[in-house]
Structure formats: C-alpha cells, structure tokens
C-alpha cells in the first residue's frame, strides 16, 4: 500500500450561506472530475484540519472539506461567547451538508471521518442514503449517553487524579452534578480568563485520556489558540451535553436504511476515549459493513491504522 498522498492546494473554496446567520467554509482539493468524497471533521468544533497529507489519491478523488458551524473558518465563530449556539445542532449540520452537496452539484459522495464525525455521517446517511456511495469511519463515536458518560466520567476510574482535576475545575456546587452543563456556563463567562481556564482544563483531561497512545501528546487537544480552544470546548460541551441530539439507540435502530452502502469501520483496540461496542453492533446489523481492529492503535492512530484507512479508501477509489 502506498504512503499517504500529498494534499494539493484547494482549486475552489467559499463561504456557503446556510441560514440562521451562519456561513460555512468549504474547500475542494484534488481532481474536479474525480470521485466525490466529503471529509467530515471530528470534535465537534474541531474544524477541518488542513493536513499536508491525505488518505485520498488527489488524482482519483474530488476531496471536499468543510468547517462545521461555529468553528474553523466558518462564521460566526463560537470562540466569541456572544455567538448563540441555538442554531448549532446535529439537525442543522445535516442540513448544511445537504446544502453543500447541492451547491457543488454532487449526486453522491463517499463520507469519511473519525471520532465525532461518524455520528454526523451516520445520521446524514440514514436521512439521505441515496446520496451516499460509501463510508469510511475511524474511531467511531455515536454520541450515545453511555459513550458521553464514559468519556467524561467513567473512564476517570482509570485516571482518578486527572479526572478529579477535570471535575474540580468547575464550581464546587456543580461537581456532583452535570459537569458538561457546568463547563458550558463557564465558557460563556464575560471574563476571558474564566473561559480560557475552563477550556484548558477540559483539554487537559482529553489529553490525559490519550496520553498512553503512541501518537498521544500533552498538547493533542490543548494546542489551539485562545478563540479556537474556547470554540472547540464550547461546542463539544454543547453537543455532548445533549447526547448529540440523537435519540438513544436510533442510529442502530435505523441502520437498515444503510443496507447496500459499503462501509469500513477502523478502530484501535487501545482507544480509551471511544469504546468499540457501538461500531461492533453496527457492523453486526449492517450487511456490507466491515470492522477492522488495529491492535497497536488508540484514538490518535498508529502506522497500522493509517495503512488500514488508506486501504479502505483505495478500495472505493474506482467503485
């Protein structure tokens, strides 16, 4: 299998007016006549990272990236506490993806992404199965309440010191209650230092959960500038505090709508952030879906995971 491919400069980009005062940034790379692929970023609120390398052969794929509402180059930016998140939900993002597809004149596209991205990809695909050609999902998180509870409370059994620091960064009265709601309140404080302290404490916890991984680093989540750091954490707390606005069990219940769409799930056995069970359950109920388990990988990947992801994309290149 070839190494990852260089990512060419965008041949087209823009801001798409999606309503509610929001403009979503998008860009297209690769071959304008190639197989369309939409890269969905994680987070939520992470923004579409502009890596210099990609799993997609730019001669074969028309690679579309976009920044979800409130982050990256999309406007307005959620790093500003005065920006409302009332019109920033999973339903809004699904509508944005469909508006972008129509704007670009794409009939069907491959969906690609990891972590939070599969939540959005799966809900979109179950809504518009006729618009999806294939799916490649990495470290799949489906935003179920048990997954959210695991990441922000239960995995603290393995990292008690780090989790207590995460808990103790909110006011004492909130520590035994809804931590995500408590962080959401801090992140709209009129005091910039309060917002930044909360965002750093959140990301320090996220960094701790991946610290054991070969590609984990102390700054994996926290190495962002002030406004981007606040936007990332604010949007994460907003979405996960509402379990992604996805009815519990609905993605698995409606997986029959995806029958006929080939899919590959790639998951690291060492991933403490995202348990493998949701991906496992989906594959059992989805003919044509495959789960590839990478023994040496966690949430942040490994060379073997990169190889598996590139192999999955290559399999669909000429389909």
Residue 154: CB atoms within 10 A of its CB come to: 14
Cβ–Cβ < 8 Å for 258, 129 = yes
Q: How far apart are CA 306 and CA 54, in angstroms?
A: 10
Choosing from 271, 273, 297, 302, which is the catalytic residue?
271
74, 115, 297, 302: which one is catalytic? 115
Whether 299 is catalytic: yes
- Calpha distance 225→187 (Å, rounded): 15
Query: Does 33 participate in catalysis according to the annotation?
Result: no
**The one catalytic residue among 41, 77, 267, 299:** 299
d(CA 221, CA 208): 10
- Separation CA 279–CA 289 (nearest Å): 10
- Measuring CA to CA, which residue among 116, 208, 215, 211 is closest to residue 169? 208
**Residues 8, 153: Cα–Cα separation, whole Å:** 41
Whether 115 sits among the annotated catalytic residues: the reply is: yes
Pairing of strands 132-140, 12-19: unpaired
The dihedral region occupied by 307, where left means phi > 0, alpha psi between -120 and 50, and beta the remainder, is alpha
Angle formed at CA 268 by CA 267 and CA 272, multiple of 5 degrees: 110
Residues serving a catalytic function are 115, 271, 299
């Amino acid at each position: 299998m070839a190494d990852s491919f260089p990512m060419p400069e965008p041949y087209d980009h823009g801001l798409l007016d999606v309503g509610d005062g929001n403009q979503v940034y998008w860009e297209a790379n690769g071959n304008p006549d190639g197989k369309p692929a939409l890269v969905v970023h994680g987070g939520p609120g992470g923004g579409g990272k502009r890596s210099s390398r990609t799993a997609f052969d730019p001669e074969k794929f028309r690679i579309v990236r976009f920044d979800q509402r409130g982050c990256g180059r999309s406007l307005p930016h959620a790093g500003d506490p005065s920006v409302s998140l009332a019109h920033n939900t999973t339903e809004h993002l699904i509508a944005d993806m469909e508006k972008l597809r129509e704007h670009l004149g794409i009939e069907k596209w491959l969906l690609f992404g990891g972590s939070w991205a599969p939540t959005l990809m799966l809900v979109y695909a179950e809504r518009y199965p006729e618009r999806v050609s294939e799916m490649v999902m990495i470290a799949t998180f489906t935003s179920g309440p048990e997954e959210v509870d695991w990441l922000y409370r239960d995995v603290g059994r393995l990292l008690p010191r780090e989790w207590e620091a995460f808990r103790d960064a909110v006011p004492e009265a909130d520590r035994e209650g809804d931590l995500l709601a408590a962080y959401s309140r801090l992140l709209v404080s009129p005091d910039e230092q309060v917002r930044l302290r909360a965002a750093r404490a959140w990301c320090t916890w996220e960094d701790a959960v991946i610290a054991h991984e070969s590609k984990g680093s102390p700054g994996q989540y926290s190495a962002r500038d002030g406004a981007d750091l606040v936007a990332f954490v604010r949007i994460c707390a907003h979405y996960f505090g509402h379990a992604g606005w996805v009815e519990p069990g609905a993605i698995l219940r409606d997986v029959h709508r995806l029958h006929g769409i080939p899919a590959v799930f790639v998951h690291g056995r060492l991933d403490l952030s995202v348990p493998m069970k949701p991906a496992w359950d989906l594959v059992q109920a989805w003919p044509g879906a495959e789960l590839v388990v990478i023994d040496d990988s966690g949430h942040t990947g490994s060379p073997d995971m990169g190889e598996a992801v590139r192999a999955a994309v290559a399999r669909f290149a000429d389909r």
